Chain A
């Protein structure tokens, strides 16, 4: 086989998706269809040092073939664009509860149409921090064929929060800027910071008024922001007629007050 490959040096074939032996002209693997349903995706515990808590996670195989469900412990973080970044357990340091989480069974076969309940358990050791905070980790739940080989497959994350004590929610808008790059569009950038001790699931409402008339009224969810973190929320608005607009950005971080920033933009 390698001799054949040598003959086409420079003609490189990269096969993504073949579980077969390497070839220069990779043989076609069979098409696969894998399906996975996971619920819930978010679990919230309130377990302090020495406490235990559990929850049920349901998985289902909606595909035509048997599949194996594999649960991998993970840490995670949300990037500015809202994507959950899967990290190695422990990456989040003191905020991680990965060492104390179990999802069982962590490896299970599911027949087509079969539903299985998994038990998510948090066992917090007595030596765990008593500091008021929200800790987090979770599991990456994958579905693979029974032989383990599929280049592309489905997965979902189950994120677990553990709230210790009574964290306070607070956030602030530290900067608000709106510009118009032309073509009837405006770009809003709001810098927000979580200066509380709880995490913040926020929404941002953007209202644009022209001559007193509301022409834009949109509300977006903002990816979860942990205590001490900051983020820039960006939003592009298009289809605006040229002119001067009053802009209002209202942040609802789940606390007792709403935060509002106002400015103006001249749309070109």
Chain B
């Protein structure tokens, strides 16, 4: 198994205290073991309601916002990503109609994210998929602390008249490779 990030920090000329041996008073080493890790907290208002009404074309905004916060530490020289995945490829209505999950688009708006390496970019109106739709990306291999608001829209042209409910829908997915 590959070791997690291992950093050796060296410094000279620091006063460590009279009780230490003379040699140690001049140099010391600190080993920092920092594994790859992700924390993901998803707060949902309960329902996100998409109601195209009489619209038959265009993207209609859904109600409510889902918030995701947390942090990701990727591997050395590695990349990490924050994405969403839909659990099912289609949403089935009570009358048997179905909507491809790609008809639901997602926007990730920054709500106070910070990164130690460059600016992050956030997805705008990206189609949902079961394999992963990028929500946020950032340049560096370091820690990304994120706070994003997810809003949704639906392509009215892909919705047949029906009533649809999804009870197990989307995951906010943190990954590092």
Contact = CB atoms under 8 A, between A and B. Distances in A.
Contact of B167 (A28, A62, A151, A222): A151
Interface string B42-54: 1111111111111
Nearest to B69: A35
B75 interface: yes
Nearest to B56: A10
Given A17-B166, A202-B77, A39 B52 contact: no
B79 interface: yes
A101 to B, nearest CB: 13
A155 B137 contact: no
A35 to B, nearest CB: 4
B54 A224 contact: no
Residue of B91, B118, B173 most packed against chain A (CB within 10 A): B173
A155 B173 contact: yes
Nearest to A254: B77
Given A11-B53, A17-B166, A222 B62 contact: no
Interface string A201-220: 11100000000000000111
B31 interface: no
A205 B104 CA distance: 37
Given A17-B46, A203-B77, A86 B173 contact: yes
Nearest to A203: B77
B40 A35 contact: yes
A154 B118 contact: no
B167 A149 contact: yes
A18 B150 CA distance: 17
B169 A151 contact: yes
Contacts of B168: 144, 148-151
Interface stretch (A42-50, A171-179, A181-189): A42-50
Interface size range of chain A in the complex: 35 or more
B79 A12 contact: no
B126 to A, nearest CB: 10
A159 to B, nearest CB: 6
A16 B93 CA distance: 12
Nearest to B140: A221
Interface of B: 1-2, 4, 35-54, 62, 66, 68, 70, 72, 74-81, 83, 85, 91, 94-95, 99, 104, 118, 130-134, 137, 139-141, 150, 152, 154, 159, 161-177
Query: Nearest 4 CB-CB pairs, A to B?
Result: A44-B2, A154-B40, A39-B37, A84-B175
24 contacts: A10-B54, A12-B53, A14-B62, A15-B48, A31-B44, A31-B45, A32-B42, A35-B39, A35-B40, A41-B37, A41-B38, A41-B72, A42-B78, A78-B79, A79-B134, A81-B137, A85-B131, A142-B171, A152-B169, A154-B42, A156-B173, A157-B175, A159-B175, A223-B79
